[in-house]
Chains A and B, each alone.
Chain A
């Protein structure tokens, strides 16, 4: 289960997606994520999915790897689906269970919400899998730079954001190590009722939390030792360049989005 979380991984490569300006990728990903909430027909979702699949192919992300990364989301997808079943009241009733009424509209909405969730995660994964931590930090810094006038330190925000995402794999590695150590002491995590399982999880969470706090403290100290002061007066080795391929990517994405909206899908 822990192995399946691929957020924070970076698949090195030099595909079209990898070579896009990270700012372009970030803005287009955000637009795509918004678009998923505009789409409201089966055809629309099918087309949207086809588009993300095409993106994955362009970025040379192995489909099986991506599918594995989506596995942990299935649980949330199912919960979302059930919520819509219970709470959507409009439409014709297809099932009547005491105080629960499931409507045809609810079933459809359930599927749509579930698709939306999965597709947004897919878009975010495609972005993080093809963008290195340095690029991500640089992109956030540059995009937020106008906010410096109102006191936002864009460099810090970029660093914190990329740090947060990039430390996910490290955290998972730590969690796996502690989990194995407790298994070696005889814990079987797959057994027991809910309360017993919860108690077993503390055997992972407490050591993990202690490690994380200590690690964060050490990292902060190391940064201070190297005179970190939030990028004031600092130049970057990485120069972001927007080129022809960025305009192509933007044109294709926007055209495709406009088409979806215009066709009323």
Chain B
């Protein structure tokens, strides 16, 4: 289900003394089954762009957003269909939970779609199992008695229960402890393995570098870079100009290179760093 964004502009509070333009002509294509990261410093327009990808904001001329063949800017666009196909997970999604139990909350979207109770239950079961929460164990739990990380996974399940094939996640790890962060990243990776198209937004290149294949850098409302993650995160000049910090692995390799060791700098994991340094240092074998 491809997404195509052309010349997207956005201004908050137009026609008021507080008018503030955040997007200045963004172009972006996301193909089926891709996992794409969108990085950028605060106020670069990431979250706004995300809301367009989820069909929650609708573009005005001359900007255009086409999701699965539906032009969301058209007045007669079937926007409900778009929102069913693209799932949008907001920052701190646990804030949107409101039902008494896990089962009721996750089943909210399927119930709105007027599915029969048996189908709703099947959907809820599937969604909960997908996010790693056994259905029988969690179905009756009161939502507000869960831990922060669990609530967040319930919220993701609530979005998945719509049956969407594309997921847009806005800062999915914000505010989680290291363990919760790892679990969330593992969840996103497993959703991608199951064939979902993923767009993940973050201001942490560190985690995006490990997760995505393609990275888009947004700066001041424009696309500053769009390409294979290795190339983008090792482009020191680009990152410096946008105020993003390279992942630790890349920073380490840049330090080695600056010290005169002939290494490539686009290493994304600690293993890659070790291998590359060993190779460059000439036949030092790793223990």
- Interface residue ranges, A against B (CB under 8 Å): 3, 6, 9, 11-12, 62, 64-65, 68, 177-178, 180-188, 202-203, 206-207, 210-211
Contacts and interface: CB of A to CB of B under 8 A. Distances in A.
Contacts of A203: 98, 108
Interface in B1-53: 13, 15-18, 51
B74 interface: no
B83 interface: yes
Contacts of B89: 184
Given A3-B13, A11-B17, A181 B112 contact: no
A211 B80 CA distance: 27
Interface residues of B, number: 28
B180 to A, nearest CB: 19
B184 to A, nearest CB: 17
Contacts of B194: none
Question: Could you say which of B89, B98, B144 has the most chain A C-beta atoms within 10 Å of its C-beta?
Answer: B98
B84 A207 contact: no
Given A183-B83, A186-B80, A186-B109, A207 B98 contact: yes
B190 interface: no
A8 to B, nearest CB: 12
Nearest to A211: B95
Contacts of B108: 185, 203
Interface in B162-191: 162
Contacts of B124: none
A190 to B, nearest CB: 11
Contacts of B54: 184
Interface string B84-97: 10011110010111
B3 to A, nearest CB: 15
Interface in B62-93: 80, 83-84, 87-90, 93
Contact of A207 (B15, B17, B97, B162): B97
Contact of A185 (B13, B16, B95, B109): B109
